[in-house]
């Protein structure tokens, strides 16, 4: 993940839909995946940010995208563990733009 935009309330489009899908996967978003960054999406972003200790600004910036990349790239979860229950220290958090060994290009 290297080209993710910073998303804030009022944003629209495919990136917002992608964000909403991952917020739902992480157990923080129960709204409709509609590509509209409104109050429900902002609250879900804040929840994920607070839960994983990356600051609750409500904007999806680099740290939030790193968290999503870690969730996406962490592979299958152990039986019985849901994404929303997985702690940040249980996954390897790669830097955006880093290769498989964590080296930034």
For residue 99, being part of any structural domain is answered with: no
Q: Quick one: CA dihedral 67, 69, 75, 79, positive or negative?
A: positive
Can you give the pTM of this predicted structure?
0.68
Residue range of the domain that includes 68: 14-89
What CATH number did the domain enclosing 29 receive? 1.10.101.10
| Residue 1 counted as domain residue | no
| Least confident piece of the model among 31-35, 39-43, 53-57 | 53-57
Q: Is residue 5 part of a domain?
A: no
- For the chain, how many structural domains are there in total? 1
Whether 23 is covered by a domain: the verdict is yes
- Out of 16-20, 52-56, 70-74, 96-100, least confident range: 96-100
DSSP 66-85: HHHHHHHHT-SPPTT--GGG
Question: Does residue 101 lie in a domain region?
Answer: no
């Amino acid at each position: 993940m290297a080209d993710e935009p910073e998303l804030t309330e009022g944003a629209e489009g495919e990136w917002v839909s992608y964000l909403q899908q991952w917020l739902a996967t992480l157990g923080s978003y129960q709204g409709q995946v509609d590509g509209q960054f409104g109050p429900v999406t902002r609250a879900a972003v804040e929840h994920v940010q607070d839960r994983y200790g990356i600051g609750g600004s409500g904007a999806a910036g680099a740290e939030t995208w790193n968290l999503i990349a870690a969730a996406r790239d962490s592979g299958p979860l152990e039986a019985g563990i849901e994404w929303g229950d997985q702690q940040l220290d249980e996954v390897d958090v790669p830097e955006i733009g880093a290769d498989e060994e964590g080296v930034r290009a």
